[in-house]
Chain A
Amino acid sequence: MANANGPRKINLSANPTPKALAELMIGDIVYLSGVVYTAREGIYARVLENGEAMPLDLPTESAANFHCSPAATQNEDGSFVLGAVTATASFRFSKWIGAWLKASGAKLIIGKGGMSPADYRDHFVPNGAVYLTTVGYGTGALLGRGVKKVRDLHWKAELGLAQAMWVLEVDKFGPFIVESDLIGNSLFERENARIAEGISKAYEGTRPAVLKRFGETDDRTDELI
């Protein structure tokens, strides 16, 4: 078992100050309090491609965009039952993220697996945003516990429960891990580089397939995203 103290733990507002953001280091564990909202491809396409108005005042109400669809339902009386909450993989939203950061003023993007170094450099750093990754994935029950209230659900009829925008009041919502910082360092990139050093040992005694695939590479520092 590893060091019992483990990584540093930080409580952060979902509308963080520039100072609080600057203090975050990759690998820190973060718990959020305040308001977070879910937005993924359905919302991005509606706002950024169809030009629809934001259904809430961003970033005043929240600066934390969660790439997520909760395991939740709405009762006939309008009330909500929210169980577990787990992120979805963020790299698929690359084509919208720059415009979204500008339009929404989001400072925290929360999701699964991080985004590419180019996304951090070109979009996150200029907009003063950082990326928090969920843990596991996913600690759905722990995150569910951190949701105190569903404040609102936008575009349910248009997008369905999974793609709709859930506005969540949260307290000590986490854990999350700081994946990118304000200058664009990436925890996943760092770990990939460390693992790459020893990876060839595991491959000893194996051989490439006789039938190749187009575009195939033997460079194991490559990534799929």
Chain B
Amino acid sequence: MISIEVVEKTAQILMKKAAIEIPDDYHSGLKKAAIEEDGDLSSFVLEAMLENYAAAKEDGRAMCGDTGCPRWYVKMGNEAQIIGGPVALESALRRATANATHSVPLRPNRVHPLWRTDHDNNVGIGAPEIEYAFEPDGDWIDLITVHKGGLFGTDYRMLFPSDGIEGIKRFYLDSLVAFGKRGLACQPAIIGIGLGGSKDSCMVLGKRAACLRIVGNRNPDQKIAKLEDEFKILGNSIGMGAMGFVGKSMVIDCNIEVGYCHTGGMQMSVHAFCLSSRRAVARIFGDGRVEYRTDPAWFTNYQRRETVEWQMPTAQEKST
């Protein structure tokens, strides 16, 4: 049984880690981009960002003053049990969000859309978002927080089968160019693309592709993996770099996730996970152990399953 005190304490540590520590995969990706960048202004920006990550860690202060919108992804092994149940879990995540907003400090961003009521703690109606998934075995829960930045860089479009890959590429480029100008998307970013599903799930897939997969990771479908490689190169060939200055660092990586859609359509969403790609992960085991990491490892074979029944993984797969 997992105690709610461990959940809350872990969640509060995750809020702080996400805000302050740039994940290794993104950091390495940005360092590589900084070496390859040859635009004077773009280079200056990338070097300043690298300096900023170091300053954040050294001072223990948030790397970006705009906290974005803190959100939670909770994944539960099929045997996981939490004392107090899911309601206690949600309360703990809301408390951790509010407390960390004061203690780090983070910017209290969340307000009522109409009345602009501000609780000064990033908690309110529907905030923070908490999403769930399950895995076939295990007594653990994974807590993932993402502080997703930005009012810009995300778009959705209903495409159709006849639009084909050429149409997908066009919308991808349109999104990068439109939001890349003046650096509104806070690029270079991890770009997530959602294809298929329905309008809402397409947006969810794209956001998760950007926020819950790491740099260098590839979709297990070989043909999609090839598209991911191709799209990364395409995005970096626009001629635009950081802040929309002349350069070639727009995309640190491109991740594509798909879902089955209506036979007549091909929904597409594009999401940019900004220069401060804030994510932190912990696994809480049934015996109370906590392991921290930065890879959400969200998209398992189970999450991407295609069949009616789930075939339990073989012993060999389990051990990996």
Contacts and interface: CB of A to CB of B under 8 A. Distances in A.
A20 interface: no
Contact of A224 (B169, B178, B246): B178
A71 interface: yes
Contacts of B64: 71, 84, 86, 136-138, 140-141
B170 A209 contact: yes
Contact of B157 (A143, A175, A199, A209): A209
B56 interface: yes
B108 A160 contact: yes
Interface of B: 19, 34-35, 37-45, 48-49, 51-53, 55-56, 59, 61-67, 101-102, 104-109, 111, 116, 118, 120, 151-152, 157-160, 162-164, 166-167, 169-171, 173, 177-179, 181-184, 186, 234, 237-240, 242-246, 275-276
Contacts of A69: 65-66, 107, 109
A202 B107 contact: no
Nearest to B119: A160
A103 interface: no
Task: Please name the 4 residue pairs, one residue from A and one from B, whose CB atoms are nearest each other, closest first.
Answer: A86-B65, A160-B118, A2-B43, A141-B56
Contact of A140 (B52, B169, B182, B243): B52
Interface stretch (A57-65, A94-102, A117-125, A190-198): A190-198
A137 B185 CA distance: 9
B43 A88 contact: no
A85 interface: yes
Given A85-B65, A207-B163, A188 B56 contact: no
B43 A71 contact: no
Interface in A80-113: 81-89, 112-113
A15 interface: no
A145 B152 contact: no
B40 A3 contact: yes
Contacts of B116: 42, 160, 163
A217 to B, nearest CB: 10
A220 B56 contact: no
A144 interface: yes
B120 A84 contact: no
A27 interface: yes
Nearest to B174: A220
Contacts of A160: 108, 111, 116, 118, 120
Contacts of B63: 84, 140-141
A199 B48 contact: no
A201 interface: yes
A142 B58 CA distance: 11
Interface in A166-225: 175, 177, 187-188, 191-192, 194-195, 198-199, 201-203, 205-211, 220, 223-225
A60 to B, nearest CB: 27
A207 B244 contact: no
A11 interface: no
Chain B CB count within 10 A is highest, among A7, A140, A192, for A140
A164 to B, nearest CB: 10
B59 A144 contact: yes
A85 B35 CA distance: 27
